[in-house]
Chain A
């Protein structure tokens, strides 16, 4: 059974600080996805990582993928309050790319 784990599950940090969220998965997938979810809102696609060593950056967020270690990281640089949300990583559940297995989510709270 494919498992996707994230840590930490809860993260409270001050504005201006840096931190990294980790996503581990148990399959040999070479593609991994990051989503953001605000309370009561839908899932918003953040990053699509399609190969080993892929690195994507958008503003204060940077995601990377190490398929050999089955590990992806989401690094937050100089956090701001607007980044407060829950972040999910997801891996395709089968070879057809028709469904995702999501991690449990990391609830990030950035304090002023």
Chain B
């Protein structure tokens, strides 16, 4: 596609449920990043993939959060036992190399946990 695509654009879930957020990077981009943006704040780094592997997952807040990129393209961010504090916009970005400065961001998935 022409840009980074994230689905769904909005997701409302009940506390305690499991959710999956999808990111389709720009074709050919080997690096993929996930960020979380809480209301009124700047994006916070979650995880960075280079190819299929998570090169840096130091930003994942706890073990309820997990992300995969099995074929080195599409990535899924998975959140177990969601909490109200998980409500945020989850942004995905991709780049051809491994430099975040060259990355293009998607429009995000707005997750609301009620």
Residues of A within 8 A of B (CB): 4, 31, 33, 40-43, 48, 88, 90, 92-94, 96-105
Is there an interface contact between A99 and B45, defined as CB atoms closer than 8 Å?
Answer: yes
Is there an interface contact between B100 and A98, defined as CB atoms closer than 8 Å?
Answer: yes
Main secondary structure of the interface of A (DSSP, over half): loop
18 A-B pairs within 8 Å (CB atoms) are namely: A40-B107, A42-B104, A42-B105, A43-B43, A43-B91, A48-B101, A92-B100, A93-B45, A96-B98, A97-B98, A99-B45, A99-B48, A99-B100, A100-B35, A100-B43, A101-B45, A102-B43, A105-B41
B65 CB to closest chain A CB (Å) equals 16
- Give chain A residues whose Cβ lies under 8 Å from the Cβ of B44: 102
Interface flag for B85 (CB, 8 Å): no
Closest A residue to B108 using CB positions: A42
Q: How far is the CA of A111 from the CA of B33 in the complex (A)?
A: 35
- Give chain B residues whose Cβ lies under 8 Å from the Cβ of A93: 45
Closest B residue to A88 using CB positions: B42
Q: How far is the CA of A71 from the CA of B33 in the complex (A)?
A: 26
Closest B residue to A4 using CB positions: B42
Is there an interface contact between B43 and A104, defined as CB atoms closer than 8 Å?
Answer: no
Interface flag for B20 (CB, 8 Å): no
Q: How far is the CA of A37 from the CA of B26 in the complex (A)?
A: 20
- Give chain A residues whose Cβ lies under 8 Å from the Cβ of B56: 94, 98-99
Closest A residue to B43 using CB positions: A102
A96 CB to closest chain B CB (Å) equals 7
- Give chain A residues whose Cβ lies under 8 Å from the Cβ of B25: none
